[in-house]
Structure 1
């Protein structure tokens, strides 16, 4: 939400955004006071726009500069606003109200997805008339003309509830299985440094490029970790398809995993998985500018600051019929386990997240080994071509 507020405050008021420097007089307000809230919500809901509409409370418009954050002094419960608005407005209007701490001040935001219009009051209330369609034109509110109201209905014909399809795929783009058979490695000692055997140099051998290539002393330790990860890894990609007739804006996935038998596991972004180590490395090798930029622009992040790791995946806006594919996400169980994968789908047009659960079972054996045992395992796997 902080990213969204950062973006919105740099926009100018228009058909999709309205800044209010103070909270609405709702808790102890008169009908005239409360009708101001109704009018602004109706105007944004009926406006001609492509995406979600927003009313930001605690922001002072000072175009052409970013809106100033002044904060609000009084809180309003979302459930009270929902009950109030939908007891007055026809048809049922989908929206939500949230309060957040932003730049050390409390601010409010009313989020109004694009949906089938027009909206109006069946009965006059406060300063508002019945059966009048209020609409936002630029940065002001006006009464819609009858022909404009008809145009709204015609444009929105067929617009209904959002239909979102979520798929879990393997890296090979096949449906993710419900069970996996893996090997789980546990090492009983610290692996030694890697020392490569070198043959004596002859007088006719080509010269070495001193300083460009070095032995990787951590090779065995790095390869042990690489093997441990890849033997137990569950890698997946999430695909979201917008099957509805309207755009889904600012779509995002939140993924959490629960081990039902309390076994330990890790949640890892695919970009953070270890690469296959090399016994030597070249000091001239480095990431290209494109690779550095790609790492900075990763849209899949695993947050481990809370009690349970959570993966945030930003997919952006999806047009009707459009799909978005996430980067790879990896689950790394430490032993056979039953894992409950929970996914929440969020978006500007979704008043409540869509939630799905997927049960994954992992089987297999746990192998404890010292360094000599690992080397035998390593060369056996190499012989199999793994």
Structure 2
């Protein structure tokens, strides 16, 4: 919600957004006071828009600059607003009211999803007329003409509800488990350079190295990073199936992770996972070309580090009825055991508001701090275990 507020305050008032510098006089207010809130909600609900509409309380319109955060003083319970609005409005209107702390001040957010219109009140209330459709035009509220109210109903009847199915799978196309047992490695010292010991073939032997033939001095450090990531890695992919009879355009998936036990973690595109290093230094494998940079920037899966929390944005394109979109793999690397919540948001041109779901995964295991000698012993034991497993 904080990220959403930061985006909305940079927009101007219009059919889908209204800034209010003060809280509505709802608690102890007169009919006229409460009718003001009711009118604003009806106007946004009936507006011509594609996505959800918002009334932001505690924001002062400051165009062309971002809305100024001034905060609200009074708190209103969402259940009271719900009861009040739906006791007056026909048909039943879906909306929500939340209060949040934003930039040190309390603000309120009324969210009104796109839904079938028109909405109106059957009995006059305050200064509101009965059976009149109030609609937001630009930054003002007006009464809709009868043909416009009819057009609303026709337009919204043409919309078909989308049915989407989102699966979170392993790279092997199996359902992602809810529990994992891993080992979490930390390194107590900087590992030394790798230098291969070469025995001279004779008393006068001198080995001449070519430009591409020399030891990879970072081998131990790169190998430690490779093992650290591999031991804790949880790799996943996302499959979105359009089970509707209409197309979903510009489908996008947003993935964010909450560490429920305050542990740190990393998110990486699966193609950026560290590769198993080679002891020989190879110039060709380390060159980054312009084409590499362009391909990285145009990937359908991108990690966004600009917000307060890491997020992953996945573009899935347009999905025809019955079609599925499959993402590249996302690498999730926890640094310690604990519980994590994955928040998933599906967006698309035909969706009036994002579809959201959550999954919780539990990670268990030990955190080991290793010095260089202990790391080498860990690798030897790991190789032996793999050999025994292969023999079986």
Establish whether TM, by shorter chain, passes 0.5: yes
1:68–1:91 distance in 2 versus 1, CA, 3 Å: same
2:109 is the counterpart of 1:109: yes
In structure 1, the residue corresponding to 2:379 is in which secondary structure?
A: helix
The one-character-per-residue Cα deviations of 1:245-271 (angstroms, maximum 9, x if unpaired) are: 688999644556889xxxxx9854134
1:76–1:301 distance in 2 versus 1, CA, 3 Å: same
1:87 deviates by 1.8
CA distance in 2, matches of 1:378, 1:48: 64
CA distance in 2, matches of 1:59, 1:181: 44
CA contact (8 A) 1:183 1:232 kept: yes
CA distance in 1, matches of 2:325, 2:332: 21
Matching residue of 2:371: none
1:319 deviates by 7.3
1:219 deviates by 2.4
CA distance in 1, matches of 2:317, 2:328: 13
| Structural mapping, 1:170-319, within 5 Å | 170-171=170-171, 174-176=173-175, 178=177, 194-198=194-198, 208-209=210-211, 215-227=215-227, 229-230=229-230, 233-241=233-241, 252-255=254-257, 268-271=266-269, 273-279=273-279, 280=281, 285=287, 290=294, 298-299=302-303, 312-314=311-313
CA distance in 2, matches of 1:93, 1:218: 62
1:52–1:248 distance in 2 versus 1, CA, 3 Å: farther
CA distance in 2, matches of 1:36, 1:238: 45
5+ residue gaps, structure 1: 260-264, 363-368
In structure 2, the residue corresponding to 1:66 is in which secondary structure?
A: coil
CA contact (8 A) 2:267 2:303 kept: no
The one-character-per-residue Cα deviations of 1:94-122 (angstroms, maximum 9, x if unpaired) are: 11122223333322221111111111112
Matching residue of 1:20: 20
CA contact (8 A) 1:252 1:315 kept: yes
| Structural mapping, 1:92-171, within 5 Å | 92-157=92-157, 159=159, 163-171=163-171
The one-character-per-residue Cα deviations of 1:293-327 (angstroms, maximum 9, x if unpaired) are: 689x9446799x9xxxx974445898786858475
1:315–1:82 distance in 2 versus 1, CA, 3 Å: farther
Q: Which residue among 327, 330, 353 is the counterpart of 1:328?
A: 330
In structure 2, the residue corresponding to 1:50 is in which secondary structure?
A: coil
1:347 deviates by 6.7
1:50 deviates by 1.4
2:65 is the counterpart of 1:32: no
The one-character-per-residue Cα deviations of 1:197-248 (angstroms, maximum 9, x if unpaired) are: 3466999976655xx9975445235424523543664310234456566889
Matching residue of 1:7: 7
Number of aligned residues: 362
Matching residue of 2:82: 82
CA contact (8 A) 2:251 2:319 kept: no
1:313–1:228 distance in 2 versus 1, CA, 3 Å: closer
CA contact (8 A) 1:50 1:114 kept: yes
In structure 2, the residue corresponding to 1:106 is in which secondary structure?
A: strand
1:142–1:30 distance in 2 versus 1, CA, 3 Å: same
1:181 deviates by 10
CA distance in 2, matches of 1:156, 1:281: 61
CA distance in 1, matches of 2:188, 2:340: 33
Q: Which residue among 359, 379, 388 is the counterpart of 1:374?
A: 379
Matching residue of 2:370: none
1:49 deviates by 0.8
5+ residue gaps, structure 2: 366-373
Matching residue of 1:56: 56
CA contact (8 A) 1:115 1:160 kept: no
